[in-house]
Amino acid sequence: MLLHPERLKSLVRAAAEQVIASAPELTALDQAIGDGDHGVNMKRGFEAVLGKLETIGTQPLDEALKTIGKTLVMTVGGASGPLYGSFFMGAGDALSHSKRLPDDLAEVFGCGVGAVSARGRSQPGEKTMLDVLFPVLETLRSEAGRPDLIERVRVAASEAVARTVPMQATKGRASFLGARSVGHVDPGAKSSCVLLHAVCKTLEAQ
């Protein structure tokens, strides 16, 4: 599947720029319950993605997703590199194996989410990015075909981030804090939401 290069590039650029702009906020969240490097790591990774924008723009969508994933794996330099990398590579793989957009959007997204879950050996409820990705996947499944799907995804992501606040982390560095991880937004959930919101905004504008 080949998206118009300018359309693909504007989606990737918007997502990357939004993550880069959110780096200070992500860092602050990670300083509260982690090692404080999430913002700078994501920024490094998405700057590298921006550096490959011209290549990505010429690729079929499955290859473009895999390029983004591999770039993140090689440059982020924290657990979020393999986790986000697995999401994009997993979604790209699904498209390489006969899935089509927009009809199979939920399945393609689901393959990405499944890859993150497998990579992190984690499930929803552990105060991680999966606590945004799974509710969004559920929304994509249940609301497929609705004209306001984009708005519903946006709301689902925001609400899911808020629901990480009372959770106690049982995966990742925040789990070392035990009960003290309660009362904070999970940084990975937040960065997932930032990415999803950027994609939603760009799709609406297109």
Partner 1 sequence: MTDTVGIVIVSHSKDIAKGTADMVRQMVGSEVKLAFCGGNSEGGLGTDVPSILEAIDKAWSPKGVAVLVDLGGAETNSEMAVEMLEPERRGRVVVCNAPIVEGAVMAATEAAGGSLLDQVRAVAEELSAS
The residues that touch partner 1, with contacts defined as CB under 8 A, are: 35, 37, 41, 44, 73-75, 77-79, 81-83, 85-86, 119-120, 171-173
* CA–CA gap between residue 39 and residue 57 (Å, rounded): 25
Specify the residue, 85 or 124, whose C-beta has the smaller distance to partner 1: 85
The nearer residue to partner 1, 64 or 115, going by C-beta atoms, is 115
Closer of 92 and 172 to partner 1 (Cβ): 172
Dig out the tokens for 137 from the structure. Answer: 């996947």
Q: Which long-range contacts (CB under 8 A, 24 or more apart) does 102-111 make?
A: 105/140, 105/144, 106/137, 106/140, 106/141, 106/144, 109/136, 109/137, 109/140, 110/137, 110/140, 110/141
User: Which residue's CB is nearer to partner 1, number 74 or number 162?
Assistant: 74
Distance CA 206, CA 38 (A): 30
